[in-house]
Amino acid sequence: MSDPVTQPKPAVADEADAHVANAGYKQQFKRTLGRFESFAVAFSFISITTGLFSTFGVVLNSSGPAGIWTWPIATVGTILVALVYGMLASRIPLSGFSYQWASRLANPVVGWWFGWVSFAFLTSVTISVDYAFSQVALFPLLGWEYDPLKGAIATAIVMVLQALLIIWSTPILTKINNAAVGAELIAMIGLTVMIAIAVIAAGNGDIGNWTATGVAPTEGYFGWLGPFMMAFLLGAYTLVGWESAANLSEETKNPKKVIPAAMVRSVLVSGVVGTLFLMAISAGIGGDLEKISASTSPVADIIGRTVGHTLEVVMLVVVCVAIFACGLVIMTSNSRLIYAMARDGRIPFAETFTKVPRSTGGPIWATVLAAAASILVTLGFYANADALAGFLGAGTLMPALLYAATVILYIATRRKFTHSPDDFQLGKWEWPVVIGACIWLTVELAILIIPEAFRVAQYYAIGTILLGGVVFAILWFTRRDSLTSEVGTDVSQL
């Protein structure tokens, strides 16, 4: 027998594929995602352009421009949660993220519910992002007058295009996303600088807006759950989805190291660039605070006001590309989640949803299901003028619930496994980070559950859980063996 010390170390791809094999699966995807691609997936899902264009008007009306200062607070809290996710993603580097972690650390039934909530979250965020693409970017760019029916149809068409791209080629999808992320970063930084110059040099703005409450009520403004707290929607909605990098673990090179770094960096970069951009556009409102607050596309109006119509059009083109890429990444993540659950026989017609014709393409029917679910819900709200606001709330509450449940899972099962030497670890900072994440998530959930403003989002959450109960009951009577069987091998062997 040869001395193991003298044997060459396996290539990173082989090591990564070994984790998939040890989990009881066959590697079906080609590993095409490197460090930048993994970061780009996480950053694109966050998409500060999407989030800020979609929610800034809500912030102006609920909290006024002063509400922008909730953004850096949300950034810090989200980084703490991302660090906890990083430890789990490194320990169990498999597609399906929270579904896989809960299935292996708790039990398959708990894992199924994590998977169902993740599916509901990804579906709702796909809708909100693609709806925003139509309402706050595409229609203003083309000069079309927006109405709910046209918005729903445009959104459905966008979803079909995204699904076709996902099925056709992961490398092409990645190149589109990389280009979109690069364009978004350049545009956001460049626009921030230009607006700042317009405000400072040309006097075309007012930095006093940084502390202005605008049209928001001033009574009890900083009180618990007062108007200022409502602005947390800005960060709570935007700074989500960075965990999509973990959902593509089986397509990432050296996922145990690359994915935790990608998740944390994406939140950090988004937080810094977003803070500067929010400061610029808030100052750029100038004295038109009431008029801008009444606009359906306030960010676009501020850009036109400060740097001119030509740059407004250029920025709207970049925004369209960024939002389209954001929706593309979200639907991709949802397709991988469906694929991961089907691979374990945990959804109806599971065998169909596991089909991956080419290693460089997406799972066909899993992608079709992800798109169809989003399209059906979208068309169901074709007559609702406030559909975007409702989906924004749902796209904020659902991930907050999932993040909280995942952090609790980590705490409850921490003693069930020990970190491998190559795992991402926090050392002595582990428990301070976990406690900080719990504090942030408690505050965030209180903001999203207690006020009446988020009742629609809560009804969506309750409705999806009830629907999940129906699906679970069907599976219990038709696929009980698959639903309760152990998944793969012991965590210590991954």
pLDDT at 118: 94
- pLDDT digit string, tens, across residues 27-43: 889 898 999 999 999 99
| Cβ count near 33 (within 10 Å) | 27
Lowest-confidence pick of 5-19, 367-381, 469-483: 5-19
Lowest-confidence pick of 96-100, 102-106, 297-301, 379-383: 379-383
Question: Dihedral through CA 236, CA 239, CA 241, CA 242, nearest 10?
Answer: -140
- 110-116: average pLDDT: 95
Given CA atoms 76, 81, 85, 87 in this order, what sign does their dihedral have?
A: positive
pLDDT at 408: 96
Instruction: Identify the band that residue 292 occupies on the pLDDT scale cut at 50, 70 and 90.
Output: very high
pLDDT higher than threshold 90 for residue 23: no
Burial state string for 129-165 with b = 16 or more CB within 10 A and e = fewer than 16: bbbbbbbbbbbbbeeeebebeebbebbbebbeebbeb
pLDDT at 400: 92
Burial state string for 445-480 with b = 16 or more CB within 10 A and e = fewer than 16: bebbeeeebbebbbebbeebeeebeeeeeebeeebe
pLDDT higher than threshold 90 for residue 124: no
Q: Please tell me what DSSP assigns to residue 335.
A: H
Q: Which residues contact 321 (CB under 8 A, 6 or more apart)?
A: 179, 180, 183, 184
Give, in order, the Cα–Cα distances in Å from 304 to each of 181, 208, 474: 23, 20, 54
pLDDT at 405: 95
Instruction: Identify the band that residue 485 occupies on the pLDDT scale cut at 50, 70 and 90.
Output: confident
The better pLDDT of the pair 134, 232 is held by 232
Average pLDDT over the chain reads 87
pLDDT at 416: 76
pLDDT at 3: 38
In 3-state terms, what secondary structure has residue 355?
coil
pLDDT higher than threshold 50 for residue 4: no
pLDDT at 441: 96
pLDDT at 308: 84
Strands (E), 299-451: none
pLDDT higher than threshold 60 for residue 409: yes
Instruction: Identify the band that residue 7 occupies on the pLDDT scale cut at 50, 70 and 90.
Output: very low
pLDDT higher than threshold 70 for residue 494: no
pLDDT higher than threshold 70 for residue 211: yes
pLDDT at 115: 95
Which residue type occupies 491? V
Instruction: Identify the band that residue 391 occupies on the pLDDT scale cut at 50, 70 and 90.
Output: low
Which residue type occupies 208? G
Tokens of 395: 């796209």
pLDDT at 14: 66
Q: What is the largest CA-CA distance in the chain?
A: 80
Give, in order, the Cα–Cα distances in Å from 185 to each of 47, 58, 274: 10, 23, 10
The better pLDDT of the pair 448, 11 is held by 448
Report all structural domains of the chain as residue ranges with CATH numbers, in order of start: 41-488 (1.20.1740.10)
pLDDT higher than threshold 90 for residue 275: yes
pLDDT higher than threshold 50 for residue 20: yes
Q: What are phi and psi of 33, to 5 degrees?
A: -100, 120
- 356-364: average pLDDT: 85
Maximum mean pLDDT: which of 69-78, 133-142, 371-380: 69-78
- 466-485: average pLDDT: 89
- pLDDT digit string, tens, across residues 316-343: 788 788 888 889 999 999 999 999 999 9
Maximum mean pLDDT: which of 92-106, 151-165, 200-214, 261-275: 261-275
Q: Which residues contact 16 (CB under 8 A, 6 or more apart)?
A: 31, 93, 250, 252, 253, 254, 255, 256
Q: Which residues contact 231 (CB under 8 A, 6 or more apart)?
A: 59, 62, 63, 66, 67, 68, 69, 70
- 191-197: average pLDDT: 92
pLDDT at 113: 95
Instruction: Identify the band that residue 378 occupies on the pLDDT scale cut at 50, 70 and 90.
Output: confident
pLDDT at 443: 92
- 145-169: average pLDDT: 86
| Proportion of the chain above pLDDT 90, given as a percent | 48
Which residue type occupies 110? V
Q: Are 45 and 244 contacting, i.e. CB atoms less than 8 angstroms apart?
A: yes
Tokens of 246: 């973990």
**How many whole angstroms separate alpha carbon 346 and alpha carbon 475?**
7
- pLDDT digit string, tens, across residues 161-186: 999 999 988 888 889 999 989 988 98
The better pLDDT of the pair 163, 387 is held by 163
Judge if pTM exceeds 0.75.
yes
pLDDT at 1: 36
Instruction: Identify the band that residue 384 occupies on the pLDDT scale cut at 50, 70 and 90.
Output: low
pLDDT higher than threshold 90 for residue 192: yes
- pLDDT digit string, tens, across residues 446-457: 988 888 878 888
Tokens of 191: 């626009």
pLDDT higher than threshold 50 for residue 243: yes
- pLDDT digit string, tens, across residues 38-61: 999 999 999 898 788 878 988 999
pLDDT higher than threshold 80 for residue 427: yes
pLDDT at 377: 85
**33 strand-pairing partners:** 252
